[in-house]
Structure 1
Amino acid sequence: MGDLPEPLAQGLFSAPGRYAGVMRLSTNPGDVLDDSVSAPRGLALKIVGVEGERLPGSRPDDRAQDFVMANAPVFAAPNSAAFLKNLKLLAKTTDKAEGAKKVLSAALRTTEAVIEAFGGESATVVALGGQPLTHILGETFYSQTPFLYGRNVAKFSIAPVSSELKALEGEMVSIDGRADAHRDEVNAFFKRNGGEWELRVQFLTDTDAMPIEDASVEWPEDDSPYVTVARIRAAAQDGWSEAKAKEIDDGLSFSPWHGLAAHRPLGSINRVRKESYESSTAFRAERNGCPIHEPRGGGAA
Protein backbone atom coordinates (compact mmCIF):
# COMPACT_ATOMS: atom_id res chain seq x y z
CA MET A 1 0.00 0.00 0.00
CA GLY A 2 1.01 3.62 -0.41
CA ASP A 3 1.02 6.23 2.31
CA LEU A 4 -1.92 5.65 4.66
CA PRO A 5 -3.81 8.52 6.29
CA GLU A 6 -4.07 8.96 10.01
CA PRO A 7 -5.12 7.03 12.05
CA LEU A 8 -4.30 4.03 9.79
CA ALA A 9 -0.57 4.82 9.63
CA GLN A 10 0.37 3.15 12.93
CA GLY A 11 2.80 0.42 13.99
CA LEU A 12 3.66 -1.95 11.15
CA PHE A 13 1.64 0.23 8.79
CA SER A 14 3.19 3.58 9.74
CA ALA A 15 5.18 3.78 6.49
CA PRO A 16 4.96 2.11 3.07
CA GLY A 17 7.05 -1.04 2.69
CA ARG A 18 7.35 -4.54 1.24
CA TYR A 19 8.06 -7.56 3.41
CA ALA A 20 8.58 -11.28 2.95
CA GLY A 21 6.12 -13.49 4.76
CA VAL A 22 4.90 -16.99 5.51
CA MET A 23 1.22 -18.01 5.45
CA ARG A 24 -0.06 -21.23 7.03
CA LEU A 25 -3.57 -22.63 6.56
CA SER A 26 -4.90 -25.09 9.12
CA THR A 27 -7.90 -26.56 10.90
CA ASN A 28 -8.34 -25.97 14.60
CA PRO A 29 -8.51 -29.27 16.56
CA GLY A 30 -5.45 -30.39 18.48
CA ASP A 31 -5.48 -33.87 16.95
CA VAL A 32 -4.81 -34.85 13.33
CA LEU A 33 -8.15 -35.84 11.79
CA ASP A 34 -9.57 -37.01 8.48
CA ASP A 35 -11.00 -34.02 6.58
CA SER A 36 -14.47 -35.58 6.80
CA VAL A 37 -14.39 -34.32 10.41
CA SER A 38 -14.92 -30.68 9.58
CA ALA A 39 -13.68 -27.91 11.84
CA PRO A 40 -13.16 -24.16 11.87
CA ARG A 41 -10.27 -23.06 9.65
CA GLY A 42 -7.27 -21.06 10.69
CA LEU A 43 -4.84 -18.77 8.92
CA ALA A 44 -1.52 -17.69 10.42
CA LEU A 45 0.61 -15.00 8.79
CA LYS A 46 4.20 -14.20 9.76
CA ILE A 47 5.61 -10.97 8.33
CA VAL A 48 9.40 -11.04 8.42
CA GLY A 49 11.93 -8.29 8.99
CA VAL A 50 9.75 -5.93 11.04
CA GLU A 51 11.66 -3.33 13.05
CA GLY A 52 10.33 -1.49 16.10
CA GLU A 53 9.64 -1.78 19.82
CA ARG A 54 8.68 -5.38 20.61
CA LEU A 55 6.07 -6.87 22.90
CA PRO A 56 7.15 -7.89 26.44
CA GLY A 57 8.97 -11.22 26.51
CA SER A 58 10.33 -10.93 22.99
CA ARG A 59 13.81 -12.25 22.25
CA PRO A 60 16.45 -9.68 21.26
CA ASP A 61 16.57 -11.06 17.70
CA ASP A 62 12.78 -11.11 17.12
CA ARG A 63 11.87 -9.38 13.86
CA ALA A 64 8.45 -10.87 13.01
CA GLN A 65 4.87 -9.68 13.23
CA ASP A 66 2.38 -12.55 13.48
CA PHE A 67 -1.35 -12.54 12.79
CA VAL A 68 -3.36 -15.58 13.94
CA MET A 69 -6.91 -15.76 12.57
CA ALA A 70 -9.92 -18.02 12.07
CA ASN A 71 -12.76 -18.04 9.53
CA ALA A 72 -15.37 -16.48 11.82
CA PRO A 73 -15.62 -12.92 13.12
CA VAL A 74 -16.09 -13.97 16.75
CA PHE A 75 -14.38 -16.35 19.17
CA ALA A 76 -16.27 -19.42 20.37
CA ALA A 77 -15.96 -18.33 24.03
CA PRO A 78 -16.56 -14.88 25.53
CA ASN A 79 -13.66 -14.94 27.99
CA SER A 80 -10.79 -17.01 29.37
CA ALA A 81 -12.94 -18.88 31.93
CA ALA A 82 -15.34 -20.12 29.25
CA PHE A 83 -12.40 -20.86 26.96
CA LEU A 84 -10.89 -23.12 29.65
CA LYS A 85 -14.11 -25.14 29.82
CA ASN A 86 -14.00 -25.62 26.05
CA LEU A 87 -10.37 -26.73 26.20
CA LYS A 88 -11.10 -29.28 28.92
CA LEU A 89 -13.82 -30.79 26.75
CA LEU A 90 -11.50 -30.84 23.74
CA ALA A 91 -8.75 -32.52 25.78
CA LYS A 92 -11.10 -35.37 26.74
CA THR A 93 -11.78 -36.20 23.08
CA THR A 94 -8.37 -35.51 21.52
CA ASP A 95 -6.99 -38.56 19.65
CA LYS A 96 -10.09 -40.59 20.53
CA ALA A 97 -13.13 -42.01 18.70
CA GLU A 98 -12.42 -40.66 15.23
CA GLY A 99 -15.26 -42.74 13.77
CA ALA A 100 -17.76 -41.19 16.14
CA LYS A 101 -16.40 -37.73 15.31
CA LYS A 102 -17.04 -38.35 11.60
CA VAL A 103 -20.67 -39.29 12.27
CA LEU A 104 -21.20 -36.34 14.62
CA SER A 105 -19.56 -33.91 12.21
CA ALA A 106 -21.84 -35.00 9.34
CA ALA A 107 -24.90 -34.50 11.55
CA LEU A 108 -23.71 -31.07 12.70
CA ARG A 109 -23.04 -29.97 9.12
CA THR A 110 -26.66 -30.79 8.33
CA THR A 111 -27.79 -28.79 11.36
CA GLU A 112 -25.66 -25.80 10.36
CA ALA A 113 -26.96 -25.96 6.79
CA VAL A 114 -30.54 -25.72 8.08
CA ILE A 115 -29.63 -22.78 10.33
CA GLU A 116 -27.93 -20.96 7.45
CA ALA A 117 -30.88 -21.66 5.13
CA PHE A 118 -32.95 -19.49 7.48
CA GLY A 119 -30.35 -16.71 7.46
CA GLY A 120 -28.57 -17.63 10.67
CA GLU A 121 -25.24 -19.07 11.73
CA SER A 122 -24.20 -20.93 14.87
CA ALA A 123 -20.61 -20.46 16.04
CA THR A 124 -21.15 -23.27 18.54
CA VAL A 125 -22.35 -25.79 15.95
CA VAL A 126 -19.49 -24.87 13.62
CA ALA A 127 -16.91 -25.15 16.41
CA LEU A 128 -18.18 -28.60 17.42
CA GLY A 129 -17.81 -29.99 13.90
CA GLY A 130 -20.47 -28.36 11.74
CA GLN A 131 -18.12 -26.30 9.58
CA PRO A 132 -19.46 -26.51 6.00
CA LEU A 133 -17.09 -28.33 3.64
CA THR A 134 -16.25 -25.24 1.63
CA HIS A 135 -12.93 -24.46 -0.05
CA ILE A 136 -10.51 -23.06 2.53
CA LEU A 137 -9.02 -20.60 0.02
CA GLY A 138 -12.39 -18.91 -0.41
CA GLU A 139 -12.61 -18.03 3.29
CA THR A 140 -12.26 -14.64 4.95
CA PHE A 141 -10.33 -14.81 8.21
CA TYR A 142 -10.61 -12.68 11.36
CA SER A 143 -8.46 -12.03 14.42
CA GLN A 144 -11.68 -12.39 16.50
CA THR A 145 -9.98 -10.61 19.41
CA PRO A 146 -8.89 -6.96 19.62
CA PHE A 147 -5.38 -5.50 19.48
CA LEU A 148 -3.75 -2.16 19.95
CA TYR A 149 -3.37 -0.31 16.69
CA GLY A 150 -0.96 2.39 17.72
CA ARG A 151 -3.12 4.88 19.63
CA ASN A 152 -6.30 3.00 18.74
CA VAL A 153 -7.89 -0.43 19.25
CA ALA A 154 -8.80 -2.64 16.30
CA LYS A 155 -9.53 -6.12 15.02
CA PHE A 156 -7.85 -7.54 11.91
CA SER A 157 -9.12 -9.48 8.92
CA ILE A 158 -7.59 -11.11 5.83
CA ALA A 159 -9.89 -11.42 2.81
CA PRO A 160 -9.30 -12.91 -0.66
CA VAL A 161 -9.48 -10.35 -3.45
CA SER A 162 -7.89 -11.90 -6.56
CA SER A 163 -10.49 -13.23 -8.99
CA GLU A 164 -9.24 -16.82 -8.77
CA LEU A 165 -9.57 -16.85 -4.97
CA LYS A 166 -12.93 -15.04 -4.93
CA ALA A 167 -14.30 -17.69 -7.30
CA LEU A 168 -13.78 -20.20 -4.46
CA GLU A 169 -15.99 -18.37 -1.91
CA GLY A 170 -18.63 -20.85 -0.78
CA GLU A 171 -17.48 -23.55 -3.21
CA MET A 172 -18.10 -27.00 -1.76
CA VAL A 173 -15.26 -29.51 -1.61
CA SER A 174 -15.96 -33.20 -2.14
CA ILE A 175 -14.21 -35.21 0.57
CA ASP A 176 -15.18 -38.61 -0.90
CA GLY A 177 -12.71 -40.64 1.12
CA ARG A 178 -9.87 -38.11 0.79
CA ALA A 179 -8.32 -37.76 4.23
CA ASP A 180 -6.33 -34.70 3.09
CA ALA A 181 -8.85 -33.17 0.72
CA HIS A 182 -8.20 -29.57 1.77
CA ARG A 183 -4.46 -29.99 1.31
CA ASP A 184 -5.07 -31.52 -2.13
CA GLU A 185 -7.29 -28.61 -3.14
CA VAL A 186 -4.81 -25.97 -1.97
CA ASN A 187 -1.95 -27.72 -3.80
CA ALA A 188 -3.98 -27.99 -6.99
CA PHE A 189 -4.88 -24.29 -6.85
CA PHE A 190 -1.35 -22.98 -6.31
CA LYS A 191 0.14 -25.17 -9.01
CA ARG A 192 -1.89 -23.08 -11.47
CA ASN A 193 -2.45 -19.73 -9.74
CA GLY A 194 -1.07 -17.11 -7.45
CA GLY A 195 -3.31 -15.29 -4.99
CA GLU A 196 -3.92 -11.86 -3.48
CA TRP A 197 -5.54 -10.93 -0.16
CA GLU A 198 -6.24 -7.69 1.66
CA LEU A 199 -5.23 -7.18 5.28
CA ARG A 200 -7.93 -5.04 6.87
CA VAL A 201 -8.59 -3.34 10.20
CA GLN A 202 -11.80 -2.52 12.04
CA PHE A 203 -11.48 0.26 14.62
CA LEU A 204 -13.23 0.24 17.98
CA THR A 205 -15.58 3.22 17.86
CA ASP A 206 -18.19 2.34 20.52
CA THR A 207 -17.07 0.67 23.75
CA ASP A 208 -20.60 -0.53 24.54
CA ALA A 209 -21.31 -2.18 21.20
CA MET A 210 -17.69 -3.28 20.66
CA PRO A 211 -16.38 -4.78 23.93
CA ILE A 212 -12.73 -5.67 24.43
CA GLU A 213 -13.23 -8.34 27.09
CA ASP A 214 -16.04 -10.32 25.42
CA ALA A 215 -14.59 -12.01 22.35
CA SER A 216 -17.93 -13.60 21.43
CA VAL A 217 -19.48 -10.25 20.43
CA GLU A 218 -19.24 -9.29 16.76
CA TRP A 219 -18.32 -5.67 16.26
CA PRO A 220 -20.94 -4.14 13.93
CA GLU A 221 -19.49 -3.33 10.52
CA ASP A 222 -22.28 -0.82 9.88
CA ASP A 223 -20.78 1.31 12.65
CA SER A 224 -17.13 0.58 11.86
CA PRO A 225 -16.35 -1.07 8.51
CA TYR A 226 -13.12 -2.93 7.81
CA VAL A 227 -10.55 -0.78 5.99
CA THR A 228 -7.67 -2.11 3.86
CA VAL A 229 -4.15 -1.31 5.13
CA ALA A 230 -1.99 -3.82 3.20
CA ARG A 231 -2.01 -6.38 0.40
CA ILE A 232 -0.62 -9.92 0.55
CA ARG A 233 0.53 -11.61 -2.63
CA ALA A 234 1.59 -15.22 -3.18
CA ALA A 235 3.01 -16.60 -6.42
CA ALA A 236 2.08 -19.96 -7.93
CA GLN A 237 4.06 -22.63 -6.05
CA ASP A 238 3.93 -25.98 -4.30
CA GLY A 239 1.34 -25.31 -1.59
CA TRP A 240 2.51 -28.22 0.58
CA SER A 241 5.44 -30.62 0.66
CA GLU A 242 7.20 -32.72 3.27
CA ALA A 243 10.07 -30.24 3.24
CA LYS A 244 7.75 -27.24 3.73
CA ALA A 245 5.88 -29.05 6.51
CA LYS A 246 9.13 -29.65 8.37
CA GLU A 247 10.31 -26.08 7.85
CA ILE A 248 7.03 -24.34 8.70
CA ASP A 249 4.96 -26.72 10.85
CA ASP A 250 7.92 -27.95 12.90
CA GLY A 251 10.38 -25.09 12.59
CA LEU A 252 8.15 -22.04 13.08
CA SER A 253 5.68 -20.91 15.70
CA PHE A 254 2.84 -18.43 15.28
CA SER A 255 1.44 -16.39 18.16
CA PRO A 256 -0.52 -13.15 18.65
CA TRP A 257 2.32 -12.25 21.04
CA HIS A 258 4.99 -12.30 18.33
CA GLY A 259 5.06 -8.71 17.22
CA LEU A 260 5.29 -5.01 17.89
CA ALA A 261 4.23 -3.28 21.07
CA ALA A 262 2.08 -1.06 18.83
CA HIS A 263 -0.11 -4.13 18.15
CA ARG A 264 -0.35 -5.55 21.67
CA PRO A 265 -3.07 -8.22 22.05
CA LEU A 266 -5.97 -7.16 24.30
CA GLY A 267 -8.65 -8.97 26.31
CA SER A 268 -8.65 -12.05 28.54
CA ILE A 269 -8.57 -14.53 25.64
CA ASN A 270 -5.35 -12.99 24.39
CA ARG A 271 -3.85 -12.82 27.87
CA VAL A 272 -4.20 -16.57 28.40
CA ARG A 273 -3.00 -17.22 24.85
CA LYS A 274 0.46 -15.86 25.70
CA GLU A 275 1.40 -18.57 28.16
CA SER A 276 -0.52 -21.35 26.41
CA TYR A 277 1.10 -20.64 23.03
CA GLU A 278 4.56 -20.53 24.64
CA SER A 279 3.95 -23.85 26.42
CA SER A 280 2.60 -25.45 23.27
CA THR A 281 5.59 -24.29 21.24
CA ALA A 282 8.08 -25.61 23.80
CA PHE A 283 6.27 -28.97 23.98
CA ARG A 284 6.15 -29.31 20.19
CA ALA A 285 9.85 -28.47 19.82
CA GLU A 286 10.77 -31.06 22.44
CA ARG A 287 8.57 -33.81 21.01
CA ASN A 288 9.63 -33.18 17.41
CA GLY A 289 13.30 -32.78 18.27
CA CYS A 290 13.26 -29.65 16.14
CA PRO A 291 14.04 -26.28 17.76
CA ILE A 292 12.02 -23.27 16.65
CA HIS A 293 13.87 -21.02 14.19
CA GLU A 294 12.25 -17.62 13.86
CA PRO A 295 13.22 -15.90 10.57
CA ARG A 296 14.64 -12.39 10.80
CA GLY A 297 14.43 -11.17 7.21
CA GLY A 298 15.85 -8.00 5.81
CA GLY A 299 13.19 -5.46 6.71
CA ALA A 300 10.96 -3.36 4.50
CA ALA A 301 11.98 -2.72 0.91
Structure 2
Amino acid sequence: MSFKSCRKNKDTIPDNPSHDYLGERLARTLKSEQGCFDFYIQPNKDPKKNNIENAMLSWDEKKSPQIKVGRLIVNRQHRVRDEMRMSACENMTFNPWRAPEVNRPLGGVNRIRLEVYLNQSKLRHDYNGI
Protein backbone atom coordinates (compact mmCIF):
# COMPACT_ATOMS: atom_id res chain seq x y z
CA MET A 1 0.00 0.00 0.00
CA SER A 2 1.07 3.59 -0.44
CA PHE A 3 -0.10 7.14 0.03
CA LYS A 4 0.65 9.80 -2.58
CA SER A 5 0.10 13.51 -2.15
CA CYS A 6 -2.84 15.00 -4.06
CA ARG A 7 -1.31 18.49 -3.90
CA LYS A 8 -0.77 20.13 -7.24
CA ASN A 9 2.19 22.16 -5.94
CA LYS A 10 4.90 19.87 -4.63
CA ASP A 11 7.43 21.09 -2.07
CA THR A 12 11.15 20.65 -2.43
CA ILE A 13 13.34 19.83 0.55
CA PRO A 14 15.97 22.51 1.21
CA ASP A 15 19.66 21.65 1.03
CA ASN A 16 20.12 21.96 4.80
CA PRO A 17 16.75 21.25 6.41
CA SER A 18 16.31 21.51 10.17
CA HIS A 19 16.18 18.25 12.14
CA ASP A 20 12.38 18.67 12.32
CA TYR A 21 11.78 19.98 8.81
CA LEU A 22 8.89 17.65 7.94
CA GLY A 23 7.01 18.42 11.15
CA GLU A 24 7.52 22.15 10.68
CA ARG A 25 6.40 21.93 7.05
CA LEU A 26 3.31 19.91 8.00
CA ALA A 27 2.25 22.54 10.57
CA ARG A 28 2.84 25.39 8.12
CA THR A 29 0.91 23.67 5.32
CA LEU A 30 -2.10 22.72 7.45
CA LYS A 31 -2.49 26.32 8.63
CA SER A 32 -3.27 27.41 5.07
CA GLU A 33 -4.75 24.34 3.34
CA GLN A 34 -6.03 20.85 3.93
CA GLY A 35 -3.80 17.84 3.48
CA CYS A 36 -4.73 15.42 0.74
CA PHE A 37 -3.36 11.94 0.04
CA ASP A 38 -4.54 9.27 -2.39
CA PHE A 39 -4.40 5.74 -0.98
CA TYR A 40 -3.23 2.89 -3.23
CA ILE A 41 -2.94 -0.85 -2.88
CA GLN A 42 -0.95 -3.20 -5.09
CA PRO A 43 -2.52 -6.66 -5.29
CA ASN A 44 -0.06 -9.47 -5.93
CA LYS A 45 -1.18 -10.73 -9.35
CA ASP A 46 1.97 -12.81 -9.93
CA PRO A 47 2.77 -14.61 -6.62
CA LYS A 48 5.38 -16.87 -8.23
CA LYS A 49 7.48 -13.85 -9.29
CA ASN A 50 6.45 -11.49 -6.48
CA ASN A 51 7.78 -13.43 -3.49
CA ILE A 52 6.62 -11.55 -0.40
CA GLU A 53 9.62 -12.89 1.51
CA ASN A 54 12.00 -10.96 -0.78
CA ALA A 55 11.70 -7.27 0.14
CA MET A 56 14.26 -6.32 -2.54
CA LEU A 57 11.87 -7.11 -5.41
CA SER A 58 9.90 -4.40 -7.16
CA TRP A 59 6.69 -5.81 -8.53
CA ASP A 60 5.99 -5.35 -12.23
CA GLU A 61 3.27 -2.69 -12.27
CA LYS A 62 1.99 -3.94 -15.62
CA LYS A 63 1.12 -7.27 -14.00
CA SER A 64 0.35 -5.96 -10.51
CA PRO A 65 -0.75 -2.34 -10.94
CA GLN A 66 -1.32 -0.02 -8.02
CA ILE A 67 -5.02 0.67 -7.59
CA LYS A 68 -6.38 3.84 -6.00
CA VAL A 69 -8.85 2.78 -3.32
CA GLY A 70 -9.43 5.98 -1.40
CA ARG A 71 -8.42 9.48 -0.40
CA LEU A 72 -7.32 10.75 3.00
CA ILE A 73 -8.19 14.38 3.75
CA VAL A 74 -6.59 16.13 6.73
CA ASN A 75 -8.55 19.26 7.61
CA ARG A 76 -6.89 22.65 8.02
CA GLN A 77 -5.78 23.21 11.59
CA HIS A 78 -3.76 25.70 13.57
CA ARG A 79 -2.48 23.82 16.61
CA VAL A 80 -0.87 20.80 14.97
CA ARG A 81 2.19 20.98 17.18
CA ASP A 82 0.84 22.26 20.50
CA GLU A 83 2.06 20.54 23.67
CA MET A 84 -1.08 18.43 24.19
CA ARG A 85 -1.07 17.02 20.65
CA MET A 86 2.68 16.42 20.62
CA SER A 87 2.40 14.53 23.91
CA ALA A 88 -0.50 12.44 22.59
CA CYS A 89 1.52 11.56 19.47
CA GLU A 90 4.64 10.78 21.48
CA ASN A 91 2.70 8.33 23.64
CA MET A 92 0.62 6.72 20.90
CA THR A 93 1.33 3.16 19.80
CA PHE A 94 1.00 2.04 16.20
CA ASN A 95 0.53 -1.65 15.55
CA PRO A 96 -0.67 -2.82 12.12
CA TRP A 97 -1.18 -6.31 13.56
CA ARG A 98 -4.27 -5.07 15.42
CA ALA A 99 -6.31 -6.04 12.41
CA PRO A 100 -8.22 -9.06 11.15
CA GLU A 101 -5.75 -11.80 10.23
CA VAL A 102 -6.44 -11.44 6.49
CA ASN A 103 -5.31 -7.78 6.69
CA ARG A 104 -2.12 -8.27 8.70
CA PRO A 105 1.29 -7.48 7.18
CA LEU A 106 3.09 -10.29 5.35
CA GLY A 107 6.73 -11.25 4.88
CA GLY A 108 9.90 -11.43 6.93
CA VAL A 109 10.50 -7.68 7.06
CA ASN A 110 7.06 -7.17 8.56
CA ARG A 111 7.61 -9.93 11.11
CA ILE A 112 10.73 -8.05 12.23
CA ARG A 113 8.76 -4.79 12.31
CA LEU A 114 6.30 -6.34 14.72
CA GLU A 115 9.08 -6.92 17.26
CA VAL A 116 10.68 -3.52 16.59
CA TYR A 117 7.38 -1.61 16.94
CA LEU A 118 6.48 -3.36 20.20
CA ASN A 119 9.93 -2.87 21.75
CA GLN A 120 10.24 0.72 20.55
CA SER A 121 6.80 1.54 21.98
CA LYS A 122 7.65 -0.04 25.34
CA LEU A 123 10.98 1.82 25.48
CA ARG A 124 9.34 5.16 24.64
CA HIS A 125 6.52 4.62 27.17
CA ASP A 126 9.01 3.63 29.89
CA TYR A 127 11.11 6.73 29.10
CA ASN A 128 8.02 8.96 29.21
CA GLY A 129 6.67 7.34 32.39
CA ILE A 130 3.50 6.18 30.63
Q: TM-score, normalised by structure 2?
A: 0.86
Instruction: Confirm whether residue 192 of structure 1 aligns to residue 52 of structure 2.
Output: no
The residue that corresponds to 2:60 in the other structure is 220
Q: Which amino acid aligns with 1:244?
A: R
- 1:170-214 residue CA offsets vs partner (Å, 9 max, x unmatched): x32325573433222211111000022121111111123311100
CA contact (8 A) 1:213 1:268 kept: yes
Question: Residues 64-213 of structure 1 correspond to what in structure 2 (within 5 A)?
Answer: 156-161=1-6, 165-168=7-10, 171-174=11-14, 176=16, 178-213=18-53
The residue that corresponds to 1:257 in the other structure is 97
Instruction: Confirm whether residue 243 of structure 1 aligns to residue 97 of structure 2.
Output: no
Alpha carbons of 1:221 and 1:242: their partners in 2 closer, same or farther (altered >3 Å)? same
Cα RMSD, aligned residues only: 1.9
Alpha carbons of 1:195 and 1:177: their partners in 2 closer, same or farther (altered >3 Å)? closer
Identity of aligned residues (%): 26
The residue that corresponds to 2:112 in the other structure is 272
State the distance in 1 between where 2:25 and 2:17 align.
14
Alpha carbons of 1:230 and 1:242: their partners in 2 closer, same or farther (altered >3 Å)? same
State the distance in 2 between where 1:187 and 1:257 align.
29
In the alignment, structure 1 segments of 5+ residues that lack a partner are: 1-155, 291-301
Q: Which amino acid aligns with 1:246?
A: S
TM-superposed deviation, 1:273 = 2.0
CA contact (8 A) 1:209 1:220 kept: no
Q: Which runs of 4+ in 1 moved over 6 A?
A: none
Q: TM-score, normalised by structure 1?
A: 0.40
State the distance in 2 between where 1:271 and 1:177 align.
33
CA contact (8 A) 1:213 1:267 kept: yes
Alpha carbons of 1:175 and 1:243: their partners in 2 closer, same or farther (altered >3 Å)? farther
TM-superposed deviation, 1:275 = 2.3
Alpha carbons of 1:269 and 1:235: their partners in 2 closer, same or farther (altered >3 Å)? same
Counting matched residue pairs gives 129
Alpha carbons of 1:175 and 1:240: their partners in 2 closer, same or farther (altered >3 Å)? farther
State the distance in 2 between where 1:259 and 1:271 align.
15
State the distance in 2 between where 1:223 and 1:279 align.
37
For the residue of structure 2 that corresponds to 1:228, the secondary structure is strand
State the distance in 1 between where 2:113 and 2:17 align.
35
Alpha carbons of 1:243 and 1:203: their partners in 2 closer, same or farther (altered >3 Å)? same
In the alignment, structure 2 segments of 5+ residues that lack a partner are: none
CA contact (8 A) 1:212 1:266 kept: yes
Q: Which amino acid aligns with 1:223?
A: K
CA contact (8 A) 1:202 1:227 kept: yes
